[in-house]
């Protein structure tokens, strides 16, 4: 058990540093899309929701698990799509719009 925990803790600590390093180089204009994009990534909690719902054995557990999966899927799909919509606008304009 403690080996499991130490494994997880190691990954956790290393991920903090990775998260900090890759984020610190983002220009201000992309902060909103970045917030929205990382918001979509924590939708990965959907994976946890799927695992607990998959193992649910009572009606109550299924209902709770179902709600968790719905919420997780809203987070994932909504998050990525809304980020894509924002970023679509940052395309370099060319052709008819140029004066």
Partner 1 sequence: MIHTTSLGAGIHFAYLVSSVLFILGIKGLSSPRTARSGNRLAAIGMLLAIVATLLDRQILSYTWIVAGIVVGSAIGAVAARTVTMTAMPQMVALFNGSGGGAAALVSSLEYRHLIQAGALPLDSGISILLGALIGAISFSGSIVAFGKLQGLLPEKAVTYPLQQVVNGLLAAAILVLAWMVLNGSGGSHAFIAFLAGSLLLGVLAVIPIGGGDMPVVISLLNSFTGLATAATGFALHNVVLIISGTLVGASGTLLTVLMCKAMNRPITNVLFGAFGAAPSATTSPAGGGAAAMAGKPVRDVSVEDAATILAYARKVIIIPGYGLAVAQAQHALRELADLLKARGVEVVYAIHPVAGRMPGHMNVLLAEANVPYEELKDLDAVNPEFESADVALVVGANDVVNPAARHDSQSPIYGMPILDADKSKHIIVLKRSMKPGFAGIDNELFYDPKTMMLFGDAKDSIAKLAQTVKAL
Find the binding residues for partner 1 in span 10-49 (CB under 8 A).
11-12, 15-20, 22-49
4 contacts partner 1 (rule: CB under 8 A):
yes
Say how many residues touch partner 1, by CB under 8 A: 82
Residues 6+ apart with CB under 8 A from 71: 49
- Alpha-carbon distance of 25 to 30, in angstroms, equals 10
| Collapsed DSSP state (helix, strand, coil) of residue 69 | helix
Give residues 57-76 in contact with partner 1 (rule: CB under 8 A). Answer: 61-62, 64-76
**Smallest distance, Å, CB 36 to partner 1?**
5
């Amino acid at each position: 058990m403690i080996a499991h925990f130490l494994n997880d803790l190691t990954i956790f600590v290393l991920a903090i540093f990775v998260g900090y390093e890759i984020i610190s180089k983002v220009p201000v204009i992309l902060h909103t899309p970045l917030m929205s994009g990382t918001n979509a990534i924590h939708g990965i909690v959907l994976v946890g929701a799927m695992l607990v719902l998959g193992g649910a054995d009572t009606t109550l557990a299924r209902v709770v698990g179902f709600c968790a999966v719905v919420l997780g899927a809203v987070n994932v799909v909504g998050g990525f799509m809304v980020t894509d919509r924002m970023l679509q606008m940052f395309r370099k304009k060319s052709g008819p719009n140029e004066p």
